[in-house]
Amino acid sequence: MESLGKKLKEARLARKLDFSQISRETNISGRYLEALEQEDFSVFPGEPYLLGFLRNYAEYLGLNSNELLSMYKNLRIQEAPIPLKDLMPRRPITDRFLSGTGLFRFLAFVLILAIAVALVWGGISLGKWAFTLTETSAMAVDSRQPVDHNITEAGFRDRVYIDDTLTVHTEAGIYRISIEETAPSLRLDTPTGPRIVDLGQDLSIDLSGDDIPDVRIFVEDLFKNDPSRGADIHVTTGGEFIGEAPSDDLDSSDAEGDVVIADNADSTTRGGQLVLFEGGSAYPVTMTATFRGYCLFRFEADRTNREERYYQKSEQLTVQANNGIRIWASNGNSVKIQIVAGGKTVDLALSRPGEVIVRDLKWIRDEETGRFKFMVLEID
């Protein structure tokens, strides 16, 4: 029977093709093409990559991809070792139970079964009491008591939950803010009425009624579909943020918080981070992925709604998020990314052909300037 690697090699040589040309046209690294022909499957990072590359390579050469995939699976089955127990003749069941260790195990099983039946019939009331006690203890452990957080001018950064309170100390007095909801937005009960803050946004509140903000609350993270996991917030008080006028070197659009494209936004991310946009607020973003070849692609918007599947050439994917998106691709060069925020659009180049990439695309607040940067972070 003709081998998988031989069939690929003969088809390639019949068409007078070399690995470099095929790599350019299929976005599959040359070393993976050569490994397929040599049936050296150890070089692939995982079987999903191997199956995808094999299918693309077979279709490129005009071969039946399903037939080659079946050949690969049969080959792996042949390589799998046969369990030792399947090679040894099985003894009759009577021999196993009525002699040596088998007889001892059988008697032990009967004894244990008899004890279990006696416990069930004689101790059912005790069992119910124990279950009730255990359940009550578990509820006591899982229940969380509301926490009152004291906030001074030193600032506060922590995770808060429903029914927690923020006791804010200002020059004008002491005020209490209650956490009513943490999903899908942070809902607060303040002395001036209910307030809502979305992910990646901040809110300044005048607690004393003198038209000067006394506290600022910024939502760094929350889980839109799970209020039990709380929300990460950053609270500041004092005069460092009160009534700050924009500096003279900022134009009117910057003062209003409009998004601008960063100077290096058209660069390729390599070994670090890249800034795409800057703005006064964390604007919702839209990512459009256009696929130029076969690719296993995964995305996760705002730490929820994770999806993963194989995409073919010319397919397109659109994802929207309030704060950020994590992406994962088996072949970074086969997907073209476009990001839109605040009416501005940037094209993003990811990586070399055949390279597996993981990137975080998200807004991060610059503590020095108070402005937001939409960054591309390389994840190991």
pLDDT tens per residue, range 114-143: 898 888 776 665 656 555 554 544 444 357
Q: What is the pLDDT of residues 306-325, one digit of tens each?
A: 889 989 888 999 998 888 89
> Per the domain annotation, does 230 fall within a domain?
yes
In terms of Cα–Cα distance, which of 209, 215, 249 is closest to 233? 215
The boundaries of the domain holding residue 23 are: 4-79
The helix or strand, by DSSP H or E, that contains position 83, with its residue range, turns out to be none
Place of tokens 């506060």: 156
The confidence score (pLDDT) of residue 265 equals: 58
Same domain membership, residue 374 and residue 259 = yes
One digit per residue, the tens of pLDDT, for the chain of length 380 reads 578 889 999 999 999 999 999 998 888 988 999 999 998 989 888 888 889 999 998 999 999 999 989 988 888 887 665 555 554 555 555 555 455 566 667 788 888 988 988 887 766 656 565 555 545 444 443 578 899 998 876 668 889 999 999 898 887 789 899 999 998 888 999 998 888 888 767 677 878 877 677 788 888 788 878 888 899 888 888 654 543 433 334 343 343 347 788 776 555 444 457 888 888 888 898 999 998 888 888 999 887 778 899 898 889 999 988 888 999 888 878 888 999 987 788 888 766 666 788 888 898 988 888 888 888 888 76
- Sign (positive/negative) of CA torsion 340, 280, 367, 219? negative
Task: Examine the domain organization and report whether 284 and 371 are in the same domain.
Answer: yes
Q: Say whether both 97 and 134 belong to one domain.
A: yes
Same domain (yes/no): 135, 165: no
Are residue 219 and residue 165 in the same domain, yes or no? yes
Average model confidence (pLDDT) for the chain?
79
- Alpha helix ranges (H) inside 155-265: 252-255
Q: What is the pLDDT of residue 159?
A: 92
Listed residues 27, 55, 79: the one ending a domain: 79
Helix orientation angle between 4-14 and 30-38, rounded to the nearest 10 degrees: 120
The residue out of 173, 208, 237 marking a domain boundary is 237
Could you tell me if residue 202 is inside a domain? yes
Structural domain includes residue 205: yes
CA 179, CA 34: separation in Å to the nearest integer? 60
SS3 230: coil
- CB-based contact 350:335 (threshold 8 Å): yes
Phi, psi dihedral angles at 35 (to 5 degrees): -65, -35
* 272 and 320 co-located in one domain: yes
Q: Is residue 245 part of a domain?
A: no
Q: 372 with 298, same domain?
A: yes
Residues 326 and 374 in one domain: yes
Cis peptide bond N-terminal to 191, omega within 30? no
Q: Does residue 250 sit within a domain?
A: no
State the pLDDT at residue 266: 52
Residue 10: per-residue pLDDT: 92
Same domain, 229 and 263: no
Sign of CA dihedral 156, 161, 162, 164: negative
36 and 128 assigned to the same domain: no
pLDDT single digits (tens) 146-157: 999 988 766 688
Residue 257 falls in which region: left (phi positive, over 0), alpha (psi -120 to 50) or beta: left
54 touches 72 (CB < 8 A): yes
Note the pLDDT of residue 188.
92
AA letter at 66: N
Exposure letters 108-142 (e unless 16+ CB within 10 A, then b) = eeeeeeeeeeeeeeeeeeeeeeeeeeeeeeeeeee
| 208 within a domain of the structure (yes/no) | yes
Token pair in block for residue 231: 């929300």
Structurally, the chain folds into a number of domains equal to 4
Domain shared by 221 and 185, yes or no: yes
Q: How many CB atoms lie within 10 A of CB 359?
A: 23
249 part of a folded domain: no
Does 349 reside within a domain? Answer: yes
Q: Among the three residues 202, 237, 272, which one is the final residue of a domain in this structure?
A: 237
Radius of gyration of the chain (CA): 31
Q: Which residue bears the tokens 């046209």?
A: 25
d(CA 288, CA 340): 8
Asked if 159 and 134 sit in the same domain, the reply is no
